Structure 1
């Protein structure tokens, strides 16, 4: 029984590293600065994913409802649209803003910052650096994770139903799966946070390259999802 429960956790770890999940979290991560911030947003994505898996998938499993292939494909199709928009937004920001990295001061304290001068004067020395540092963005990370969790519920319900000897154990399996997905995304976020943080301080071109690659990757994954699920929905 312990091995069976651990199986759910391990599957959750693997599930977090599926291409569409990696692409989505990458588009979130490359906009953040600092290892702690990147890991936190990855964890928030994982929590949103887990919440929707537990709420929607658990209800469907416990009530023995049926998710049609068309509904499951429709949810995946919505995720495909989201992925394309995430990637396109990231590329648009790169084109729109002349982002660069430098050190300046806030109240006498030296501070390293990713900064855009879109619309500023041509003389960089005259540009205003006393800008605010707004927090947030976690709601978007949470919403993206919830959308992924909603789309992945159908497969999880089918897996739990085919392996669990009883409904309580099936729900326990789904819970461990969700926890595993959070852990997997935290691990992935930690792995990518180190090079992102390092290049932000040393190689501006590399940081921009990471951002562009994440955007193109997200769009590619989104388009593939749209083609695959569109065949079911509109074929």
Structure 2
């Protein structure tokens, strides 16, 4: 019993600081005095806020604005660009239903030449000649056959077997290229007016005409075109 009393006494001595700490009453700090109440000053009596500084309109920083360049106008079509675009029309689709031929594959300067074509179906046709001299001539339609409509299984000749006229090979030596463009819809590339010339030749210096043909090409590109072309040689 004496030992138990000693143990309890020792435990009490060791635990006393802990109980003492928990039982200590924390001191509450005194309230901070309100300067408005202690001095008797009201909000209305406070000095007004200083005015905000103003900046003159001409003192704002100027931000440079880069001018937006306007797109350059497209270059006017040239004769060479028109020839290139015309030759590309319908190039991806061959007109297998159309036969296109000439009398022979080689001509001398001064020879007469005739062109022939025949279609297996009704269609609309434009035929032009890119000559060895670099000229571009529409040979069908023409003054003698002004309508571009072609009947199926009918043989056509240019200038026409019933006409007392002939087309002469003018040269220079080289190759002439005959291109036929075919469509199920009527279209116009160069001209339907043959008052001044029986076979319409595209002038290299007529800028208004080149612009008109360029516009016709853009409209024709929307059609389902097919192409057939042949070439022949020209010698002295």
TM-score > 0.5, shorter chain as reference:
no
Higher relative contact order (CA 8 A, sep 6+): 1
Bigger radius of gyration, 1 or 2?
Answer: 2
Instruction: Give the TM-score, by structure 1 length.
Output: 0.21
Larger helix proportion of the pair: 1
> Which structure shows the bigger proportion of residues in strand conformation?
2
TM-score by length of 2: 0.21
